[in-house]
């Protein structure tokens, strides 16, 4: 019996109402040692990993399955999907190969691993090559493999983990540029290749696709939905540079001087707020990113004021170019530390160069789960003009509000350093 047939029988016996798609059947029935899945967002990639991990654990008593994600948060989220599928399969009961599969028994369970009654284990891990090296696995799944930092170190840790057990390795991801292990595996020929396009996932409605198309930029749509490995020839911030600055602790509360950047939206009626703290060694850690889309200026002002009262920043750098001027003037009357910034070509170039320098020196930390910022940084370009000059900008039809909000926050922090001003609070917050 094919694995896809068994999987469908289990889903039916559990009365889930789920019918496997053809791409999911092809994936489940592929016995290749190395498999790779290039997918659109939202097609069910994490679900098929969770389902297959449980089926393999049932069919192979005493086996070990590793689920590896690019961040701690994503690792926990993938494991939640495993437990959701497990909850459904616990209701299933069927016979196959002389065996009766009734409720799936769990002998032990924690936040990141579970052991079934047949001694098979499923362990979910974040991106940590050292932790991976401690396992010998029968099956390894790398979820969103294109987003891994230090992914060749992960490769060096993962490949030997299956040696001696006849183990299988599966990479699943949307594309993230022509770089890294995922791209190498897709183009190298050693992996059995599979695709999952949004047109093969009937649960994604045309209305949802239309809303998504309006939300994503053209390059984001090509990358996230159309399987395009985008070129980085003109990228100011290559993906490899961004990945080395990704941090797991980025959303922890601040305990050092805080600086805020506010980019006032012009193209899509949105304002982006970025807050970072300067650590004792000068490293800058982004810990708060917030977008206000389709919100009037009064509400934006209230949100910024509330955030400022909570974080007590040393400085709030506000874009006062064009329509940002009224918001800056209003904030400067009600909040201490507000600084207006009028973007010029030279200033913008200097601010972008500052972010570049921080990234190259690994002196800035960016949250692992900040896809909009990461995507905008990746798309940001250095373009030579016909007169021999250089422009720094987002590609035509795309946005840079997250990038410029970060630039404002970084500029505020570095200004305090370069002017010799002591980084301390010189006012009393109410």
Q: Do domains 3-224 and 239-418 have the same CATH topology?
A: no
Mean pLDDT of 114-123: 94
pLDDT tens, position by position, 212-257: 888 777 777 888 999 998 766 678 998 888 988 988 765 678 999 9
- When pLDDT is cut at 50, 70 and 90, the band that residue 93 belongs to is low
Write down the domain spans for the chain.
3-224, 239-418
**Residue labelled with tokens 């599928």:** 85
Q: How far apart are CA 236 and CA 227, in angstroms?
A: 22
At residue 428, the pLDDT reads: 45
Q: H or E stretch including 166?
A: none
Q: In the sheet where 258-264 sits, what is the strand order? A: 246-247, 364-367, 284-293, 270-278, 258-264, 315-319, 338-341
At residue 240, the pLDDT reads: 83
At residue 139, the pLDDT reads: 95
pLDDT tens, position by position, 16-49: 899 999 999 999 999 999 999 999 999 999 999 9
Looking at per-residue pLDDT, the higher value among 22 and 176 belongs to 22
Q: How far apart are CA 392 and CA 75, in angstroms?
A: 35
Structural tokens at position 71: 């961040």
At residue 219, the pLDDT reads: 72
**Looking at the predicted structure, is the pLDDT value of residue 50 above 90?**
yes
Cα pseudo-dihedral 108, 109, 115, 117, rounded to 10: 50
- Please answer whether residues 248 and 71 qualify as being in contact, where contact means their C-beta atoms are separated by less than 8 angstroms: yes
Q: How far apart are CA 182 and CA 229, in angstroms?
A: 10
pLDDT tens, position by position, 275-290: 999 999 999 999 999 9
Mean pLDDT of 70-99: 80
Mean pLDDT of 148-153: 83
DSSP 92: -
Q: H or E stretch including 301?
A: helix 297-311
- When pLDDT is cut at 50, 70 and 90, the band that residue 381 belongs to is confident
- In this structure, whether the domain defined by 239-418 belongs to CATH 3.30.420.240 is answered with yes
At residue 231, the pLDDT reads: 67
Share of the chain above pLDDT 90, in %: 55
Q: What is the mean pLDDT of the chain?
A: 87
pLDDT tens, position by position, 56-68: 998 899 999 999 9
Range with lowest mean pLDDT among 42-51, 291-300, 385-394: 385-394
At residue 429, the pLDDT reads: 46
Contacts of 163 (CB under 8 A, 6+ apart): 136
Beta strands 139-143 and 258-264, pairing class = unpaired
Range with lowest mean pLDDT among 14-23, 95-104, 358-367: 95-104
**Looking at the predicted structure, is the pLDDT value of residue 122 above 60?**
yes
Mean pLDDT of 169-184: 91
Per-range mean pLDDT, top range of 292-296, 319-323, 337-341, 390-394: 337-341
Structural tokens at position 131: 């932790």
Structural tokens at position 252: 């922890």
Structural tokens at position 249: 């602790």
Q: How far apart are CA 388 and CA 390, in angstroms?
A: 7
At residue 398, the pLDDT reads: 75
- Please answer whether residues 273 and 262 qualify as being in contact, where contact means their C-beta atoms are separated by less than 8 angstroms: yes
Q: How far apart are CA 324 and CA 318, in angstroms?
A: 8
| Beta-bridge partner residues of 246 | 366
At residue 294, the pLDDT reads: 83
Q: H or E stretch including 203?
A: none
b/e string for 47-75 if b means 16 or more Cβ within 10 A?
Answer: bbbbbbbbbbbbbeeebbbbbbbbbbebb
b/e string for 192-214 if b means 16 or more Cβ within 10 A?
Answer: eebebebebbeebeeeebeebee
At residue 422, the pLDDT reads: 39
Query: What are the two backbone dihedrals, phi and then psi, of residue 363, each rounded to the nearest 5 degrees?
Result: -105, 15
What is the CATH architecture assignment of 3-224? Answer: 3-Layer(aba) Sandwich (3.40)
pLDDT tens, position by position, 188-220: 999 999 999 999 999 999 999 998 888 777 777
- Please answer whether residues 111 and 76 qualify as being in contact, where contact means their C-beta atoms are separated by less than 8 angstroms: yes
Structural tokens at position 268: 């899509």
DSSP secondary structure, 1-56, as one string: --HHHHHHHHHHHTT------HHHHHHHT---SEEEEEE-TTSSHHHHHHHHHHHH
At residue 351, the pLDDT reads: 93
At residue 113, the pLDDT reads: 93
At residue 269, the pLDDT reads: 60
Looking at per-residue pLDDT, the higher value among 376 and 99 belongs to 376
- When pLDDT is cut at 50, 70 and 90, the band that residue 392 belongs to is confident
At residue 337, the pLDDT reads: 93
Nearest to 272 by CA among 283, 286, 285, 282: 286
């Amino acid at each position: 019996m094919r694995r896809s047939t068994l999987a469908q029988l289990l889903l039916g016996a559990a009365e889930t109402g789920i019918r496997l798609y053809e791409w999911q059947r092809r994936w489940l029935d592929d016995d290749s040692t190395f498999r790779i899945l290039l997918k659109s967002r939202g097609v069910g990639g994490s679900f098929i990993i969770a389902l297959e991990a449980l089926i393999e654990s049932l069919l192979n008593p005493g086996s070990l399955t590793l689920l590896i994600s690019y961040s701690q948060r994503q690792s926990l989220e993938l494991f939640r999907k495993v437990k959701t599928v497990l909850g459904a399969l616990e209701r299933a009961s069927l016979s196959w190969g002389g065996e009766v599969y009734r409720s799936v028994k769990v002998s032990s369970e924690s936040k990141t691993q579970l052991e079934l009654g047949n001694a098979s284990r499923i362990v979910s891990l974040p991106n940590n090559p050292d932790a991976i090296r401690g396992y010998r696995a029968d099956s390894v799944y790398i979820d969103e493999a294109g987003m891994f930092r230090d992914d060749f170190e992960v490769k060096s840790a993962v490949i030997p983990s299956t040696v001696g057990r006849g183990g299988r390795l599966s990479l699943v991801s949307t594309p993230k540029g022509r770089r890294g292990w995922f791209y190498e595996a897709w183009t190298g020929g050693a992996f059995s290749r599979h695709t999952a396009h949004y047109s093969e996932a009937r649960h994604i409605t045309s209305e949802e696709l239309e809303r998504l198309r309006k939300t994503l930029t053209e390059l984001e749509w090509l990358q996230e939905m159309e399987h395009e490995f985008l070129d980085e020839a003109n990228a100011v911030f290559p993906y490899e540079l961004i990945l080395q600055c990704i941090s797991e602790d980025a959303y922890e509360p601040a305990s050092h001087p805080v600086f805020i950047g506010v980019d006032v939206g012009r193209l899509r009626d949105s304002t982006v707020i970025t807050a970072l703290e300067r650590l004792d060694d000068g490293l800058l850690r982004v810990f708060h990113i917030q977008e206000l889309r389709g919100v009037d200026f009064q509400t934006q002002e209230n949100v910024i004021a509330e955030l400022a009262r909570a974080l007590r920043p040393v400085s709030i750098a506000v874009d006062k170019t064009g329509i940002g001027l009224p918001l800056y003037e209003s904030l400067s009357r009600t909040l201490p530390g507000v600084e207006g910034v009028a973007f010029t070509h030279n200033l913008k170039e200097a601010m972008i160069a500052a972010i570049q320098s921080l990234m190259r020196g690994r002196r800035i930390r960016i949250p692992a789960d900040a896809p909009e910022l990461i995507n905008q940084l990746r798309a940001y370009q250095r373009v030579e003009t016909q007169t021999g000059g250089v422009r720094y900008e987002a590609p035509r039809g795309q946005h840079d509000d997250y990038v410029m909000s970060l630039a404002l926050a970084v500029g505020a922090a570095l200004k305090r350093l370069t002017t010799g001003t002591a980084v301390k609070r010189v006012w009393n917050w109410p």
